[in-house]
């Protein structure tokens, strides 16, 4: 079997009544014009499980795996570089900058940590063990070999990784610290990429401590016990202290343009865990710094 090409995405064909792979892809990815899919087939950019090109009229087979190359006509360039913190035969740990997505999503394919490193280091099987939001900076763990993926991803699923974050946000003098915030987080039905708190049994938990106090803003240390989407951003916003630079919470802005001068002041400071393959205690820490709370100008944020 040929080796896995760099930069391919995968989809497993579900049960259904499509006649061809092309018909399924056109319906499943309805935001991409059928002519684009036909061109990709003709350019041999649609592959089967053996990484061989699929014919334009290839029949639909439920359960089969199809590989395809994601393409964007005009992808924004992210002018910040990830830094490698650690590498061995199993792991690659990087210090991710703000504004760089972990893996292909939305308007970003090549300008992501995963695709940059797959190409630069020639590791086509490289995958992220977890994810950081595009706007969040800090420590990101990636797995180099397919056979090791589940062992490391299971650590995050089973909450066996001690994660420490830092954030700059307005002062919360009414609370007693350390403070633990619990709530039920659910997807916002009015905006699919946002989360919101609802009544019900808590499914998210964050311990919050204060590292430094300023007259207006405080420097917080956050320990997420669970790992819900946007958990830290929603929790601080719900307490009345939205993270500095957050355009999503508590209210979504209409701006679609990244402002590189005002990054989200949220940093994944460190990861600590027992390596499931070696038994070693692993600890990785970001070298990046958030803004000085005494120097935040209201006009900049």
Q: Could you tell me which residues come within 8 angstroms of residue 46 by beta carbon, excluding any fewer than 6 positions away?
A: 21, 25, 37, 40, 53, 54, 66, 67, 68
Nearest-angstrom CA–CA distance, 119 and 58:
30
Cα distance from N-terminal residue to C-terminal residue, the chain: 53
Q: Is 246 a catalytic residue?
A: no
Q: Confirm if 124 and 185 have CB atoms less than 8 A apart.
A: no
Q: Which of 225, 234, 226, 239 is nearest to 194 (CA)?
A: 234
- As a whole number of angstroms, the distance between CA 172 and CA 168 comes to 12
Instruction: List the catalytic residue out of 95, 133, 148, 246.
Output: 133
Strands 65-69 and 83-87: unpaired
Q: Percent helix, strand and coil across the chain, each rounded to 5?
A: 15, 30, 55
Positions marked catalytic = 133
């Amino acid at each position: 079997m040929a080796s896995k090409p760099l930069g391919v995405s995968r989809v497993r064909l579900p049960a259904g009544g499509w006649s061809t792979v092309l018909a399924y892809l056109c319906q499943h990815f309805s935001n991409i014009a059928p002519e684009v899919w036909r061109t990709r087939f003709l350019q041999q950019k649609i592959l089967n499980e053996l990484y061989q090109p699929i014919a334009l009229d290839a029949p639909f087979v439920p359960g089969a795996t199809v590989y395809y190359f994601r393409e964007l006509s005009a992808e924004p360039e992210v002018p910040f570089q990830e830094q490698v913190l650690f590498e061995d035969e199993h792991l690659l740990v990087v210090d991710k900058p703000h504004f760089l997505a972990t893996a292909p999503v939305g308007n970003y394919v090549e300008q992501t940590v995963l695709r940059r490193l797959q190409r630069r280091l020639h590791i086509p099987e490289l995958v992220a063990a977890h994810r950081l939001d595009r706007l969040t900076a800090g420590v990101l763990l990636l797995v180099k070999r397919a056979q090791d993926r589940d062992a490391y991803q299971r650590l995050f699923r089973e909450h066996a990784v001690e994660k420490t974050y830092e954030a700059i946000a307005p002062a919360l003098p009414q609370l007693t610290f350390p403070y633990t915030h619990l709530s039920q987080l659910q997807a916002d039905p009015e905006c699919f990429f946002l989360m919101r708190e609802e009544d019900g049994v808590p499914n998210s938990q964050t311990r919050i401590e204060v590292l430094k106090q300023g007259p207006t803003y405080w420097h917080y240390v956050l320990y997420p016990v669970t790992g819900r989407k946007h958990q830290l951003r929603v929790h601080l916003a719900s307490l009345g202290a939205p993270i500095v630079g957050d355009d999503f919470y508590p209210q979504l802005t209409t701006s679609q343009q990244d402002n590189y001068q005002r990054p989200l002041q949220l940093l994944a400071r460190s990861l600590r865990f027992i390596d499931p393959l070696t038994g070693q205690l692993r600890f990785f820490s970001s070298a990046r710094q958030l803004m000085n709370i005494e120097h935040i100008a209201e006009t900049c944020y």
